[in-house]
Amino acid sequence: MGSRWAGIIGRMKLLVTGGAGYVGGIVASQLLEAGHEVIVLDNLSRGYQEAIPKGAAFVKGDVANVGTLLSSDDHIEAVLHFAGLIAAGESVQDPELHWHNNVIGSLSLLEGIRKLGINKLIFSSTAAVYGDPVHLPISEKDPTAPTNPYGMTKLTIDMAISSYCAAYGLAATSLRYFNVAGAYETQGERHEPETHIIPLALAAADKHTPFYLFGNDYPTDDGTCVRDYIHVADLARAHLLALDHLQPGKHAIYNLGNGKGFSNREVVRTVEEVTGEKLDVVIKPRRDGDPITLAASSEKAKRELGWVPEKPSLHDIVGDAWEFYQTTKASSK
């Protein structure tokens, strides 16, 4: 265990749901590096088995069945929950899919771990629960008013977790963030279909195909909307730190972000700088429901968890994502 993990809790046996996905897989890697024993539970509907880090045990199955897939004899001490659907656009087009997977699945997980005697939980939530922001940057005290089913499902589970903490003494933390990007060692972002701006821009730069920018008439410095980005390695580390601060009967909530955001034009420029390719940007009309600016304050996480991003720059985020893109492209040939 390296010095970067100094001060993080001692060895535990942990369950990572959705550990074959982008964020879950990287968190599982960091947990193993910190000396923990890790079991990954994933149905592989959106994840990749090769994303599961070496050293982690793997159980193929759905979170709704955690109570039968595992037993109290497994002696799991805490759960980190990443298994869920994340595409906001898809949630609008197919809300049943998101409500079923995110809500019914997570409620079944909560009941399953309660029966297994597991009383510690870290939930990978989203800052989409806030909807159109009232203040910038968004703090944990701001009102929640999600504008799409994805955000609604995550808020529903946050509420359920609070009730489990109050009634059953569950110790839980929810981490809320917007756009996560970048890569960690050999692990990076892969979605099918891909909807996130950085991997889409990198692919457009590599393949010399048009890159679509939705809206250039926003009331921002360069006319494009502004979004909060966080490096996946920094995000993962926040989950490990949160494990060290769980308190029985308490549901803690932390926002994770850079506090100011980057515009879509800034993303384009950074992708061009990193790849050395000029993007063929095609302006499209604004998409319905796209807020002007989204940025989350992480002051509470810094103050209470001691979390400080080590890679806050957009150039670092895009650079690591580009390196991963090139590696996966080469290995697929």
Rg over CA atoms, the chain: 19
pLDDT band of 195, cuts 50, 70, 90: confident
The CATH architecture one would assign to domain 11-183+229-257+294-305 is 3-Layer(aba) Sandwich (3.40)
* Main-chain dihedrals φ then ψ at residue 141, nearest 5 degrees: -85, -10
Catalytic residue, chosen from 150, 177, 184, 218, is 150
Task: Please determine, for residue 332, whether its predicted confidence score (pLDDT) is greater than 70.
Answer: no
Q: Which amino acid is at 202?
A: L
Q: To the nearest whole number, what is the mean pLDDT of the chain?
A: 93
Q: How far apart are the C-alpha atoms of 51 and 43, rounded to whole Å?
A: 13
Q: What is the mean pLDDT of residues 71-86?
A: 95
Higher pLDDT, 127 or 289: 127
pLDDT score recorded for residue 30: 97
Q: What's this model's pTM, rounded to 2 decimal places?
A: 0.93
Q: How far apart are the C-alpha atoms of 15 and 56, rounded to whole Å?
A: 10
SS (HEC) of the chain: CCHHHCCCCCCCEEEEECCCCHHHHHHHHHHHHCCCEEEEEECCCCCCHHHCCCCCEEEECCHHHHHHHCCHHHCCCEEEECCCCCCHHHHHHCHHHHHHHHHHHHHHHHHHHHHCCCCEEEEECCHHHHCCCCCCCECCCCCCCCCCHHHHHHHHHHHHHHHHHHHHCCEEEEEEECEEECCECCECCCCCCCCCHHHHHHHHHHHCCEEEEECCCCCCCCCCCEECEEEHHHHHHHHHHHHCCCCCCCEEEEEECCCCCEEHHHHHHHHHHHHCCCCEEEEECCCCCCCCECCECCHHHHHHHCCCCCCCCHHHHHHHHHHHHHHHHHHCC
Give the position of tokens 């982008």: 22
pLDDT score recorded for residue 4: 52
CB 82 within 8 A of CB 21: yes
pLDDT score recorded for residue 290: 79
pLDDT in tens, 269-290: 999 999 999 999 999 999 876 7
pLDDT score recorded for residue 9: 59
pLDDT in tens, 235-249: 999 999 999 999 999
Q: Which amino acid is at 33?
A: E
Domain ranges of the chain: 11-183+229-257+294-305
Q: Is 150 tagged catalytic?
A: yes
pLDDT score recorded for residue 306: 97
Task: Please determine, for residue 87, whether its predicted confidence score (pLDDT) is greater than 60.
Answer: yes
The first and second tokens of residue 185, run together, are 């060692």
